[in-house]
């Protein structure tokens, strides 16, 4: 297989885009990536989306977006792996170029979550969990994460307020990202008074839904000297039902996919300059850091308390706001992460630039850890 490079990136702001259709959001991000790459025609389009069928009434996004993007006729398909859809689309697009079958591949993640009343969106998102053994009993997606967070606090002796650094870091960074949904900082006092969502998860432990689209244009690295390269790419799974896991405090699929990506890159956690992780909930950020080797068991929250996750810290995370404050348009999120990591490695992150960033890792999670896709990028 040949090495793959990211030649173009594009994104829309994450907002409540009530006036822009899903297809228009996808086209806007795709067009931006094509323009950034200086490419007009592509061989294939991989679209990622989770909820368009239920919330927008539209499936079959591959040909639809290809057509509206002026690429009628090309190969196109949609991938879905709940909130891990976009990372999964990146993975397949990467394989298509790496195999030599395709020269230019566009990947677009797009999602509209604010089209319907909140109750319907919550029900749609719950389909990421096990319908027969979890959802049937009335638990929501945030409820599942609350159970994991409560167990973590009990097992490792943390208080709720110890999780604050994840939210504070994300908001501080989002304040300087024009594409973020929440462009303001918060302090510990604000975090502490966040209202309950599903105990112990409060407002600032949960990422907001939002509408948005992000896109990447991939080519063979040999054809794009100087472009950011994909040096690690892996995907792994775990049980969808959280109760079926041997250890609910261990993201086995993160360990597997990160381990494989590290091996491909010939690197370890100590070589990663920034990590765009999947902070859909603050507990997921902590577990991701642990399973990927940045901290020992129970040490993820400690990294935050010690200042290690901020820009300039040992392992900066959520450098443009993360899911928590940039926003979480679920089927697009994994591509926002990759776009942001690419901008960092290009030195185009503006006020949010991580100095001297050479190697970035992204990790996109579907369900409560059932699908985990890890990529490592290098400039």
Using rule CB under 8 A, residue 41 touches its own copies: no
Q: 359-366 and 274-276: which strand pairing?
A: parallel
Using rule CB under 8 A, residue 116 touches its own copies: no
Measured CA to CA, the distance from residue 300 to residue 290 in angstroms comes to: 6
Instruction: Read off φ and ψ for residue 283, nearest 5 degrees.
Output: -65, -35
Measured CA to CA, the distance from residue 165 to residue 184 in angstroms comes to: 15
130 touches 245 (CB < 8 A): no
Instruction: Read off φ and ψ for residue 323, nearest 5 degrees.
Output: -60, -35
Per CB under 8 A, the list member of 122, 127, 353, 379 interacting with its own copies is 127
Stretch that binds its own copies, among 58-66, 163-171, 198-206, 308-316 (CB under 8 A): 58-66
With H, G, I as helix, E, B as strand and everything else as coil, classify residue 91.
helix
Using rule CB under 8 A, residue 238 touches its own copies: yes
Task: Please tell me the number of Cα atoms within 13 Å of 339 on its side-chain side.
Answer: 34
* Catalytic (active site) residue 83: yes
Catalytic residue among 160, 171, 278, 328: 328
Using rule CB under 8 A, residue 1 touches its own copies: yes
281 touches 322 (CB < 8 A): no
Catalytic residue among 17, 83, 171, 278: 83
C-beta closer to its own copies: residue 130 or 273: 130
C-beta closer to its own copies: residue 164 or 323: 323
* Catalytic (active site) residue 292: no
Question: Could you tell me the CA-to-CA distances from 80 to 50, 132, 260 in Å, in that order?
Answer: 6, 19, 22
377 touches 96 (CB < 8 A): no
One character per residue 177-216, x = contact with its own copies (rule: CB under 8 A): ----------------------------------------
Question: Which residues lie near its own copies (CB under 8 A)?
Answer: 1, 21, 23, 50-51, 53-54, 56-60, 62-64, 66-67, 72-82, 88, 91-92, 95-96, 98-101, 124, 127-132, 135, 234-240, 244, 252-253, 256, 366-367, 370-371
Which amino acids are annotated catalytic? 83, 328
């Amino acid at each position: 297989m040949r090495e793959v490079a990211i030649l173009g990136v594009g994104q829309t702001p994450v907002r409540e885009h009530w006036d822009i259709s899903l297809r228009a959001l996808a086209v806007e991000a795709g067009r931006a990536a094509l323009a950034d790459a200086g490419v007009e025609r592509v061989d294939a389009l991989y679209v990622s989306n989770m909820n368009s069928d239920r919330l927008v009434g539209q499936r079959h996004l591959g040909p639809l977006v290809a057509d509206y993007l002026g690429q009628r006729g090309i190969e196109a398909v949609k991938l879905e792996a709940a909130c891990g859809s976009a990372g999964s689309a990146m993975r397949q697009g990467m394989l298509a170029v790496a195999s030599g079958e395709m020269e230019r591949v566009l990947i677009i993640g797009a999602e509209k979550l604010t089209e319907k009343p909140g109750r319907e969106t919550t029900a749609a998102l719950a389909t990421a969990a096990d319908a027969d053994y979890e959802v049937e009993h009335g638990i929501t997606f945030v409820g599942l994460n609350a159970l994991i967070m409560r167990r973590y606090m009990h097992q490792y002796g943390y208080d709720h307020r110890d999780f604050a650094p994840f939210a504070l870091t994300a908001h501080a960074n989002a304040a300087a990202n024009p594409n973020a949904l929440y462009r303001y900082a918060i302090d510990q006092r604000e975090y502490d008074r966040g209202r309950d969502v599903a105990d112990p998860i409060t407002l600032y432990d949960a990422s907001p839904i939002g509408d948005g689209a992000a896109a990447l244009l991939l080519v063979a690295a040999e054809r794009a000297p100087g472009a950011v390269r994909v040096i690690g790419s892996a995907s792994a799974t775990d049980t969808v039902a959280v109760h079926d896991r041997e250890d609910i405090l261990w993201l086995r699929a993160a360990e597997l996919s990160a381990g494989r990506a590290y091996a491909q890159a010939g690197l370890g956690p100590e070589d990663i300059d920034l990590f765009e992780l999947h902070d859909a909930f603050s507990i997921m950020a902590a577990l991701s850091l642990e399973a990927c080797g940045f901290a020992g068991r129970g040490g993820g929250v400690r990294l935050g308390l010690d200042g290690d996750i901020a820009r300039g810290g040992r392992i900066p995370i959520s450098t443009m706001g993360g899911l928590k404050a940039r926003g979480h348009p679920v089927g697009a999120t994994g591509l926002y992460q990759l776009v942001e990591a690419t901008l960092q490695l290009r030195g185009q992150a503006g006020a949010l630039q991580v100095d001297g960033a050479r190697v970035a890792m992204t990790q996109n999670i579907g369900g409560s850890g059932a699908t985990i896709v890890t990529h490592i990028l290098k400039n």
